[in-house]
Chains A and B, each alone.
Chain A
Amino acid sequence: MSPIVLAVFFPFVSALIVPILFKVLRRIHTGWFVLAVPVLLFGFFIRFYPIDGPEDIVVQSAAWIPRLDIEFAIVLDSLSLLFALLITGMGCLVVLYSIFYLSKEREALHNFYVYLLLFMGSMLGAVLSDHMLVLYTFWELTSISSFLLIAYWYQRRNSRYGALKSLLITMTGGFAMLLGMLMLRAATGTYSIRGTIALADTLAEHPLFVPAMALILLGAFAKSAQFPFHIWLPDAMEAPTPISAYLHSATMVKAGIYLVARLTPIFGGHPEWSWSIAIVGLLTLLWGSFTAIRQVDLKAMLAFSTVSQLGLIMSLLGVGSMALAPDAANGQAVLLSGAVAAALFHLVNHSIFKGCLFMVIGILDHELGTRDIRRLGGLAAVMPVSFTLTVIGAFSMAGLPPFGGFISKEMFFTGMLDAYRTLEGWTLLLPAVAWLASVLTFVYCMILVFRVFTGPKPEELPDKPPHEAAFGMLISPSVLAAAVVLLFFAPNVLSGTILKPSMRAILPQAAEAADGFHVHLAPWHGLTTEVGMTAGVVLAGAYLYRRRHWLERVRDFVPWRWTLNRLFDRTLAGMERISLKFTRFYMTGFTGHYYAYIFGFLILLAGGALLALEAWQFDFSDNAPVELYEYALGISIVASAVYMLFTRSRIASIIALSAIGYLVALLFIIFRAPDLALTQFVVETISTALFLLCFVFWPKLKDEDVRMPFRVTRLLVSVGTGAVVTLIGLAAIAPRPFESIARFFENSDELAGARNIVNAILVDFRGFDTMLEIVVLFMAGLGVYSLIRFGREGRKDG
């Protein structure tokens, strides 16, 4: 086992110990022990920093199922390192925050930290895996642990609803992704992502290329809450706030973005890939920012803002992947690749400020007992630290200087403008939509700051008197806020060491062609169009914020029932209803119907095979001649059977049945089967006696002596079955292609000392059958006995 593989499994192993620590050391908050895990992992991964060139990439693997070509293949390149550092770094802060957020007396902390560690390990595994099936395994583990964490307060109905919804959507996407990966494997013959990238040139002609692309994108979109799969994310806000901060803003929702970035070398450059990502991303951006304004719950607002920011990153990746288009000229590729740099930079930025904002909202919720915007106001003086942190986070999200978000917003505008500059035409829509969405983003950021912290005290006061949070709770958001400011003043800490090599991982072909990238991040880069756009965003946003009573009217213009949630709920309920209806339709509970299905399938399959294989070739040349009395016997059998159909009395049908039995015995005599005839006579006599015995005891029923009613379906099924059986029989009596083995048994006298061949077969040659047949008879006797005996006792009891 190599060290990185061990690092991935470290959280899983630690998760085993957590419940023990929780039970044994009750006086210490379990979180303090758990904190060691992300801290150690962060320390482990930071040692690899920076991964500059291809020579620094770490490739390690451990065997898992070698015969199926499955192994824990791990590749630590710059992109993976970026995510690993995000996961472990945010993990440290979130665990620290949760120590102060969750009470050690009232909460089931062992569950919480086990799930959290499971999540951390699976997320690390997902971003480090090079093997697609291993990636898929960890991917689903993140879905499962997220499901468990959302439903952490499982007593609440909303938590269970949110958990189920997120599981259904992300699992469906994950399953699509698995299919896409298997298609890729079918096309390339390898599960390795690096191996597939190496074969990317020849892959495009494969017929499975586009389906695989579509399915993998489906998985990535569902995980990263892209339109229209974003609906699970707002409902996932029922999770404890540290979880919302960690999973649903910084890490898990970025798994889809990671996947898109990771597979861009395979699919990038194909317009289907680039445009579907760019368009879905922009749509998500616009819809998320518009919906965020409509929310009154702070967490729901942040959830929709996460949706919109994820859309922003996605759209940048889509635009950036166009740099790989084969017909893109060198200059174009360099221009477009700037979008990838923007995506990566904003990815880091967003994780930081969104984590900070979630933690602050958590503090408000924790200290005031409410997250409802209408019940909050004028808190700036009471909670100065929280206010400062919110200002930093929200202004960064709005894209204002002097915060990290400003730079990424400028780069975002640059990326979209570059797309327009290189492609022209209708792509002017890209920067236009980006600008509009930024205005809406600005508005909800302002609502978040000023509506909550300034202005008059609300009429409905919060549950608890407002006061500043505990010091410990403020550490993590403060660290994040400091990082937000740091990213503005020293953005190049990231650019050279991690952004550029990551871009090389995402756009390897373009990197070779363009002779490397020049990523230069600066807070101020002269008077450009982008600065003008930002100024426009501020002006328009401020105007809209001031006029938000008017905006509220616009938001009511889109009725609530148009939401996708309603569609989702309706679809789910409808599917249940339809399947119930379908089941009720054919599962009638009446045996006659089931018999009809069975015989119907017999007719279809056996009859169909008879037709399809042209098996009905009849050859009666070998038949024995029929004597007159044999005709008489056969016709009597048929007549008795037909009589059974038409008689009203049940005793008459029993007599007719025994007549058939005796006639069959007579036929056996003609067939030269003395033993059979003997047995048939005896058995028929006893059966008739049994039938009559039952007849005596069976109660008189009201429709007993009614003639069997005529039904067309019954007639069709029975005639069909009879016809199929007859045809098969007629085809089977053709002269035998092989000699029967019967001649062997004519040695019964020498071999078994028996002159009756049939009896010799029964007790000597094939005696085993006879033994089991005796067992059957014995069991039936026992069954009859116990039915009668214990049935009576049961009646006494009942």
Chain B
Amino acid sequence: MEAFIIVIAGILVTIGVYMLLSKQLLRIILGTALLTHAAHLTLMAVGGLKKGAPPLLDEAATKYTDPIPQALILTSIVISFALTAFVLVLGYRAYVRIRFEDMQQLKGYEDE
């Protein structure tokens, strides 16, 4: 299971990086979202999967799934969500103000 998830995360990384290298801003943002998913899946897999009950003490279980990666991923989800929201609005403002077609037009000044 772990190896399978890691391979899926690797494929997500591949596609995410390919989109990051593209010229359209929207595709770049989508690429970062893919990378986020890949990171979460990797974190989960490295922590070990299906090794016990959900980390809720109500259940009469002897062994629980590792709760630490879950807490980390929960934090990460929120932060990446905040960033995605900000970048989306930033991109939107940039489109409205500058009306650029692709990233190559965002090159700054000649004598920079």
Which chain A residues in 523-550 approach chain B with CB under 8 Å? none
CB <8 Å contact, A645 and B19:
yes
Q: Which residues of B contact A758 (CB under 8 A)?
A: 55, 67, 70-71, 74
CB <8 Å contact, B14 and A718:
yes
Q: Which residues of A contact B21 (CB under 8 A)?
A: 592, 595-596, 711, 714, 717-718
How many Å lie between the Cα of A115 and that of B45 in the bound state?
70
How many Å lie between the Cα of A642 and that of B58 in the bound state?
41
CB <8 Å contact, A691 and B88:
yes
CB <8 Å contact, B77 and A680:
yes
CB <8 Å contact, B84 and A674:
no
CB <8 Å contact, A708 and B37:
no
Which chain B residues in 53-107 approach chain A with CB under 8 Å? 53-58, 64-68, 70-71, 73-75, 77-79, 81-86, 88-93, 95-97, 99, 101-104, 106-107
CB <8 Å contact, A599 and B75:
no
Which chain A residues in 711-748 approach chain B with CB under 8 Å? 711, 714-715, 717-719, 721-723, 725-726, 729-730, 732-733, 736, 740-742, 745-746, 748
Q: A762 contacts the other chain (Cβ, under 8 Å)?
A: yes
How many Å lie between the Cα of A701 and that of B56 in the bound state?
50
CB <8 Å contact, B45 and A676:
no
Interface size class of B (residues with CB under 8 A): 35 or more
CB <8 Å contact, B78 and A683:
yes
Q: A25 contacts the other chain (Cβ, under 8 Å)?
A: no
Q: Which residues of B contact A729 (CB under 8 A)?
A: 6, 9-10, 42, 45-46
> Which residue from B30, B68, B73, B79 sits with its C-beta under 8 Å from A654?
B30
CB <8 Å contact, B53 and A726:
no
**Between-chain CB contacts (< 8 Å), 5 pairs:** A595-B21, A703-B102, A711-B21, A733-B2, A761-B67
User: Which B residues lie at the A interface, using CB under 8 A?
Assistant: 1-24, 26-28, 30, 33-34, 37-38, 40-42, 44-58, 64-68, 70-71, 73-75, 77-79, 81-86, 88-93, 95-97, 99, 101-104, 106-108, 112
Report the nearest B residue to A645, measured CB to CB.
B15
A305 to chain B minimum Cβ distance, whole angstroms, is: 45
How many Å lie between the Cα of A661 and that of B108 in the bound state?
35
How many Å lie between the Cα of A142 and that of B85 in the bound state?
59
How many Å lie between the Cα of A478 and that of B80 in the bound state?
84
Q: A300 contacts the other chain (Cβ, under 8 Å)?
A: no
B45 to chain A minimum Cβ distance, whole angstroms, is: 6
B56 to chain A minimum Cβ distance, whole angstroms, is: 6
CB <8 Å contact, B14 and A703:
no
Per-position binary interface string of chain A over residues 759-786, scored 1 when its CB falls under 8 Å from any chain B CB and 0 otherwise: 0011000100110010011011101100
> Which residue from B38, B93, B104 sits with its C-beta under 8 Å from A791?
B93
> Which residue from A653, A721, A748 sits with its C-beta under 8 Å from B30?
A653
Q: Which residues of A contact B41 (CB under 8 A)?
A: 664, 667
CB <8 Å contact, A742 and B68:
yes
Per-position binary interface string of chain A over residues 633-666, scored 1 when its CB falls under 8 Å from any chain B CB and 0 otherwise: 0100110011011000010011001001100100
A672 to chain B minimum Cβ distance, whole angstroms, is: 4
CB <8 Å contact, B23 and A592:
yes
Given the known interface contacts A672-B54, A687-B84, the answer about A762 and B92 at a Cβ–Cβ threshold of 8 Å is no
Q: A624 contacts the other chain (Cβ, under 8 Å)?
A: yes
> Which residue from B38, B66, B70, B86 sits with its C-beta under 8 Å from A784?
B86
CB <8 Å contact, B34 and A590:
no
How many Å lie between the Cα of A438 and that of B10 in the bound state?
80
How many Å lie between the Cα of A228 and that of B3 in the bound state?
67
How many Å lie between the Cα of A433 and that of B17 in the bound state?
70
> Which residue from B28, B50, B56, B92 sits with its C-beta under 8 Å from A694?
B92
Q: A698 contacts the other chain (Cβ, under 8 Å)?
A: yes
A601 to chain B minimum Cβ distance, whole angstroms, is: 13
How many Å lie between the Cα of A787 and that of B91 in the bound state?
10
Q: Which residues of B contact A788 (CB under 8 A)?
A: 89, 93
CB <8 Å contact, A787 and B93:
yes
Given the known interface contacts A595-B21, A729-B10, the answer about A687 and B82 at a Cβ–Cβ threshold of 8 Å is no
> Which residue from A642, A698, A766, A776 sits with its C-beta under 8 Å from B92?
A698
Question: What 6 A-B pairs have minimum CB-CB distances, sorted nearest first?
Answer: A722-B14, A726-B10, A589-B107, A780-B82, A718-B18, A729-B6
How many Å lie between the Cα of A637 and that of B8 in the bound state?
8
Q: Which residues of A contact B88 (CB under 8 A)?
A: 690-691, 694
Given the known interface contacts A687-B84, A742-B68, A773-B78, the answer about A676 and B56 at a Cβ–Cβ threshold of 8 Å is no
